[in-house]
Chain A
Amino acid sequence: MWNFSVVTGWIDALLHRWMGATWALVAEFVIVGLALLAVYAVLALALIYIERKVCAFFQCRIGPNRVGKWGVLQSVADMIKILLKELIRIDRSDRFLFRLASFMVIVGSICTFAALPFDKALHAIDFNIGIFYILAVSSLGVVGILMAGWASNSKYTMIGAMRSGAQLISYEISAGLSLLVIVILSGTMQLSEIVEQQADMWFIFKGNIPAIIAFFTYIIAGHAETNRGPFDLPEAESELTAGYHTEYSGIQFGFFYLAEYMNMFIIAAVAAVMFLGGWTPLHIPGWEGFNHAMDWIPGIVWFFGKTFACVFIALWVRWSFPRLRIDQLLGLEWKILMPICLVNVVLTSILAILI
């Protein structure tokens, strides 16, 4: 199966021929950083377009269809607009934290994005604690959200940030416990290793019932972590205008917006990597011809196909269900999701010992 190590190896050799080992490493850092930022921005724009289109279809509308063919350039036009907007200075706000908050949110999101395995050898950094790193860094966003809410000096942002803090910290427990099931099953935290182990069969199929339960709980907790779907209390527009980013304008608001959409992508990508086999093709044991045909589809197509399927589930859920109240939200986590996850982890451990 062809993979990206050919391309990355070629670039590495080329840089080493031109400059010394240290400078080649620095140049590679810069190239990887730029590539990740570019993919991040393009994916965010694509996601915004997809969201608007899918949302429109769920509401029996057509959605953006004026800018470009089928409105595909709509989000590009929106980006240009948001870049040209004024950055409003809020009276009596904490100016340093106000500025810092939007960067915190997007840095947390980009750091998580950088650790995703897009394809075999197309992986910026392959930690041996990859999934732990993703869980840890993705919670940086909470700090940014709390900062934004505090620094804006407004009751809406304050309430939104407090809700967001309560929500994100609670639901991270369920998300972590759900991913723990896969860590138990695979025996490693390294993302590339987890994906390699799913080459014969994805974990959602070979992990028996615990993996299926974990997939559902992870999807639910993931939606809550992205502040979207039925869990969008931190920015409940009917109660809090826009929640924690009410006072932001221009590209600072754009950072929150991008981070929100990319967090949705990251949650979907992690679900795809952990449960649906990342870039490994769909293999059914015994069907040799079928498996061989599936191998012809490149891994990056598999990765993005699975991720966007998960993104579609997120959008589907978002446009189906009404928003929860804050007590219902916390009740769902502490009374239902977390007990299920704990029981599920115990069940998985027993299964892992038995098999």
Chain B
Amino acid sequence: MKKYITDIALGLWRLFQGMYITMLNFVRPKFTEQYPENRGEKEYFDRFRALLVMPHDERNHHKCTACGICQTNCPNGTIEVVSRMEADEATGRDKKTLDRYMYDLGSCTFCGLCTHSCPFGAIRWSNEFEHSLFTRSKLHMQLNRPGSSLAPKPAPAPVPAAPAAEPAKKE
């Protein structure tokens, strides 16, 4: 009889403990992101990999030398670097120049080997994650802008005439 009553009292006490815990959850502030409304307000962390981009500076210069290391490193053939030979203005010799930097978002696994291996920091990850499209062909995108060219090499130390290389990083 004594056990019967203590069991009931203990059971009730445990139930109230459970209700206290759920009430704590009830009054806790909610963290749910209101996504379409807060578009652009949310800060994503720097290492978030959403889309491969090639930064261009204000004079439409990128830093890709079309070496093709990223293409070689890419495990699933997502990147295709199409290059052409073009006469270098300074030396007059033929030089490999980027023609089209093709990137297929549909097959990219966001492993990051391309940005990791790029010797010039020409490509990086951006936070643009809204990729939904109606046709798959639009996922196949060209990263270098039309008419863009390789940023000129920074000149030797006495003449600091290379403002192009620095802002490109910040973009």
Chain A residues near B (Cβ < 8 Å): 54, 57-62, 65, 316-317, 319-321, 336, 340
B19 partner residues in chain A, CB cutoff 8 A: 316-317, 320
Check if B18 sits within 8 Å of A57, measured CB to CB.
no
Which 9 pairs across A and B sit closest by C-beta, in order of nearness?
A: A320-B22, A62-B32, A57-B26, A320-B19, A320-B18, A58-B26, A62-B30, A58-B22, A60-B25
Instruction: Quote the shortest CB–CB distance from B27 to chain A (angstroms).
Output: 8
CA–CA, A61 and B8, complex, Å: 33
- Minimum CB distance partner of B12 in chain A: A216
A60 partner residues in chain B, CB cutoff 8 A: 25, 28, 30-31
Given the known inter-chain contacts A321-B15, A336-B8, please indicate yes or no for A61 contacting B32, CB distance below 8 A: yes
Instruction: Quote the shortest CB–CB distance from B170 to chain A (angstroms).
Output: 37
A54 partner residues in chain B, CB cutoff 8 A: 26
Given the known inter-chain contacts A321-B15, A336-B8, please indicate yes or no for A61 contacting B30, CB distance below 8 A: yes
A58 partner residues in chain B, CB cutoff 8 A: 22, 25-26
Give the number of residue pairs across the A-B interface with Cβ within 8 Å: 32
B159 partner residues in chain A, CB cutoff 8 A: none
Indicate whether B23 reaches chain A with its CB closer than 8 angstroms. Answer: yes
Instruction: Quote the shortest CB–CB distance from A340 to chain B (angstroms).
Output: 8
Instruction: Quote the shortest CB–CB distance from A222 to chain B (angstroms).
Output: 16
Check if B25 sits within 8 Å of A59, measured CB to CB.
yes
Check if A319 sits within 8 Å of B32, measured CB to CB.
no
Q: List 15 A-B contacts (CB under 8 A).
A: A57-B26, A57-B30, A58-B22, A59-B25, A60-B30, A62-B30, A62-B32, A316-B19, A316-B23, A316-B26, A317-B19, A319-B22, A320-B18, A320-B19, A320-B22
CA–CA, A317 and B12, complex, Å: 12
CA–CA, A252 and B135, complex, Å: 42
Indicate with 1 or 0, residue by residue over B63-81, a CB within 8 angstroms of chain A CB atoms: 0000000000000000000
B28 partner residues in chain A, CB cutoff 8 A: 60
CA–CA, A320 and B30, complex, Å: 18
- Minimum CB distance partner of A332 in chain B: B11
Instruction: Quote the shortest CB–CB distance from B17 to chain A (angstroms).
Output: 10
CA–CA, A313 and B23, complex, Å: 11
CA–CA, A319 and B34, complex, Å: 24
CA–CA, A59 and B21, complex, Å: 11
A319 partner residues in chain B, CB cutoff 8 A: 22
CA–CA, A336 and B21, complex, Å: 25
Identify 10 new A-B residue pairs, CB closer than 8 A, beyond the known A60-B25, A62-B30, A316-B23. A54-B26, A57-B30, A58-B25, A58-B26, A60-B31, A61-B32, A317-B19, A319-B22, A320-B21, A340-B8
- Minimum CB distance partner of A340 in chain B: B8
CA–CA, A57 and B27, complex, Å: 8
Most buried by B among A54, A57, A320: A320
A62 partner residues in chain B, CB cutoff 8 A: 30, 32, 34
Instruction: Quote the shortest CB–CB distance from B65 to chain A (angstroms).
Output: 50
